A and B are shown apart, each in its own frame.
Chain A
Amino acid sequence: MTETSVILALVVVTALGFDFTNGFHDTANAMATSIATKALTPKVAVALSGILNLVGAFLSVEVALTVSNAVVKIQDKSGAPKPELLADGGKALLLIVLAGLVGGIVWNLLTWLLGLPSSSSHALFGGLIGASIAGLGWAGVNWNGDGSKLDGVIGKVILPALMSPIIAGVVAALGTWIIYRITLGVAKRFTDNGFRWGQIGSASLVSLAHGTNDAQKTMGVITLALIAAGDWSDTKNIPFWVKAACALAIALGTYLGGWRVTRTLGKGLVEIAPPQGMAAESASAAVILASSHLGFALSTTHVATGSILGSGVGKPGAQVRWRVAGRMILAWLITLPAAAIVGGLMWWIGDLLGGGLAGSLAVFVILLAAAGYMYLRSRRTPIDHNNVNDEWDEARTDERVPAGVAN
């Protein structure tokens, strides 16, 4: 076993780890509303979502090798790695990818710990951008595209992130409003029961679309690493084992369920009733599918959150906790730069140790330590399928009340 193949193995394991965090971070996007309205029990919801993610990941046979081309310049147009990065047995490229993945995972875990639904794609892109800046300089990043199409960090990441929650929110608000208008005066046993079914259907569609969209990104990254290390040469296809491993990783992650994030989305933002849940998930599914059809890349997380907020705005008399929403939007804004800083730092540490096996191992060990620490922190205030639906305000008794406030 050569040095390169050990580094390659680290990259593959880390990439699958990212895929796993991607799964449990995003369970909430599809299932938070169904869990909150008790249309499905928490366990059944995550199992359904996991299976649909697995199926979705296998359905995505489209070549996703060029996925990172939108933001960083480490590949050419066909998806093959840039030759100058392959001089040293591909180690230069592998280190950038490894550092970028670590940046994405660390940020995903931190936002999960805080219960914030941040975008996994932003975390991945942020990590890669940071590692590329550290490794290749500012010119290593595709900031604004070449002007011929929607491209670059601005076109593929920032603008869609600004627009997609608004679009989803408008659609969900409109849907919610119409539904309540139409079913005005209908007995609750009809509306609640019916909309629960509608909700399960639309949430399933979101899960399937998530599997197709998100697992692809990791498949592309792993295949890129394989090509860099000289273990694969076909830029038109992805090895079957890569597809299977990524599909399993995202499905297992989804099944584990990111309960902390699910709680925020399902209970924290808005008190969701079944008609709102159905409107929110339908809006998410429609916006995700329509935009991927039109090549308008966006984050499932941003869409789902926008939809849930919209369903709160659209229901007459519903209350939206804007403070929670504000915290979340803040997390969105810093996701990309924060993951970039971690990615850049990891590259720098790896490079300091020679950029070879020692550097990669050090980066990997740092990842394990950070992940272990955050897991232990999460056990202090565990949230799981038992308490995911507890009343939001009761759970916040630890909140500081300024002295002298009468209540």
Chain B
Amino acid sequence: MHNVGFALEGAWKVLLAGVILGAGLPALFALGIRSLAWGAGGDAEVHGAGAGPAANPAGKVLAWVLFAVVLLGVVLGITFIVASGFGKALSFEHVFPTIVDK
């Protein structure tokens, strides 16, 4: 059953990439939303009795930084689809992704 071995070998890689990109990016996005609420203050988050915390501009900045990171991940995903369609591949050899020939 050589195929089972090959399949398991592929499966854990897919699982790893899936957890990092498929659960990690949404987690960052969720953090972004949390910061957005933090930045808005008031009733955006559950708070004790009385008026909510004051608005905090840092929250807004942090939120958009996080959204930008997520967006970057998505752009990488699209680049990957397009690149492999044209017979190219994404290489992470130099840490930042570059498009190379397959």
Binding site for B on A (CB under 8 A): 56, 59-62, 144-145, 147, 149-152, 154-155, 159-160, 163-164, 167-168, 170-172, 174-175, 178-179, 182-183, 185-187, 190-191, 194-195, 198, 201-202, 205, 208-209, 212, 275, 278-279, 282-287, 289-296
Question: In angstroms, how far is the closest chain B Cβ from the Cβ of A21?
Answer: 23
Pick the residue among B6, B20, B21, B87 that contacts A149 (CB under 8 A): B6
B47-80 interface bits toward A, Cβ cutoff 8 Å, 1 = contact, 0 = none: 0000000000000000000000010001001101
Q: How many residues of B contact A (CB 8 A)?
A: 44
> What residues on B are CB-neighbors of A186 within 8 Å?
33-34, 37, 44-46
Pair A182/B4 contact, Cβ less than 8 Å: no
> What residues on B are CB-neighbors of A294 within 8 Å?
10, 13-14
Pair B46/A168 contact, Cβ less than 8 Å: no
Known: A59-B82, A201-B74. A291 touches B36 (CB 8 A): no
Which residues of B in the span 3-30 have a Cβ within 8 Å of any Cβ on A?
A: 3-4, 6-7, 10-11, 13-15, 17-23, 25-27, 29-30
Question: In angstroms, how far is the closest chain B Cβ from the Cβ of A334?
Answer: 21
Pair B23/A175 contact, Cβ less than 8 Å: yes
Distance between Cα atoms of A296 and B17 in the complex (Å): 13
Q: Can you list 20 contacts pairing A with B, beta carbon distance less than 8 Å? A: A59-B82, A145-B3, A164-B14, A171-B15, A175-B27, A179-B26, A195-B29, A198-B29, A198-B70, A201-B74, A212-B81, A282-B25, A283-B18, A286-B18, A286-B20, A287-B14, A287-B18, A290-B13, A290-B17, A294-B13
Pick the residue among B7, B26, B80 that contacts A282 (CB under 8 A): B26
Pair A212/B85 contact, Cβ less than 8 Å: yes
Pair A185/B45 contact, Cβ less than 8 Å: yes
Question: In angstroms, how far is the closest chain B Cβ from the Cβ of A60?
Answer: 5
Pair A168/B3 contact, Cβ less than 8 Å: no
Distance between Cα atoms of A56 and B46 in the complex (Å): 43
Please give me the residue from chain A that is nearest to B80 by CB atom.
A289
Q: What 15 additional pairs, Cβ within 8 angstroms, besides A155-B6, A195-B33, A201-B74?
A: A56-B81, A59-B85, A61-B86, A61-B87, A150-B6, A168-B22, A172-B23, A186-B37, A194-B33, A209-B81, A289-B77, A293-B17, A294-B13, A296-B10, A296-B13
Known: A62-B87, A171-B19, A186-B34. A279 touches B7 (CB 8 A): no
Known: A194-B32, A208-B78. A171 touches B27 (CB 8 A): no
Distance between Cα atoms of A287 and B6 in the complex (Å): 17
Binding site for A on B (CB under 8 A): 2-4, 6-7, 10-11, 13-15, 17-23, 25-27, 29-34, 36-37, 40, 43-46, 70, 74, 77-78, 80-82, 84-87
> What residues on B are CB-neighbors of A167 within 8 Å?
11, 14-15, 18
Closest 3 CB pairs of A and B: A286-B22, A290-B17, A175-B23
Pair B44/A190 contact, Cβ less than 8 Å: yes
Distance between Cα atoms of A56 and B43 in the complex (Å): 43
> What residues on B are CB-neighbors of A290 within 8 Å?
13-14, 17-18, 21
Please give me the residue from chain A that is nearest to B82 by CB atom.
A59
Pair B87/A296 contact, Cβ less than 8 Å: no
Pick the residue among A164, A190, A205 that contacts B77 (CB under 8 A): A205
Pair A292/B78 contact, Cβ less than 8 Å: no
Question: In angstroms, how far is the closest chain A Cβ from the Cβ of B43?
Answer: 6
> What residues on A are CB-neighbors of B82 within 8 Å?
59
Pair B18/A168 contact, Cβ less than 8 Å: yes
Pick the residue among B23, B74, B84 that contacts A178 (CB under 8 A): B23
Pair A179/B27 contact, Cβ less than 8 Å: yes
Known: A62-B87, A205-B77. A170 touches B15 (CB 8 A): yes
Question: In angstroms, how far is the closest chain A Cβ from the Cβ of B33?
Answer: 4
Question: In angstroms, how far is the closest chain B Cβ from the Cβ of A292?
Answer: 7
Pick the residue among B2, B7, B19, B36 that contacts A163 (CB under 8 A): B7
Question: In angstroms, how far is the closest chain A Cβ from the Cβ of B59?
Answer: 11
> What residues on A are CB-neighbors of B45 within 8 Å?
185-187
> What residues on A are CB-neighbors of B86 within 8 Å?
59, 61
Distance between Cα atoms of A251 and B22 in the complex (Å): 26
Please give me the residue from chain A that is nearest to B7 by CB atom.
A159
Pick the residue among A59, A175, A198 that contacts B22 (CB under 8 A): A175
Distance between Cα atoms of A220 and B87 in the complex (Å): 16
Pair B3/A151 contact, Cβ less than 8 Å: yes
Distance between Cα atoms of A7 and B28 in the complex (Å): 54
Distance between Cα atoms of A164 and B13 in the complex (Å): 12
> What residues on A are CB-neighbors of B80 within 8 Å?
289, 293
> What residues on B are CB-neighbors of A284 within 8 Å?
22
Question: In angstroms, how far is the closest chain A Cβ from the Cβ of B64?
Answer: 12
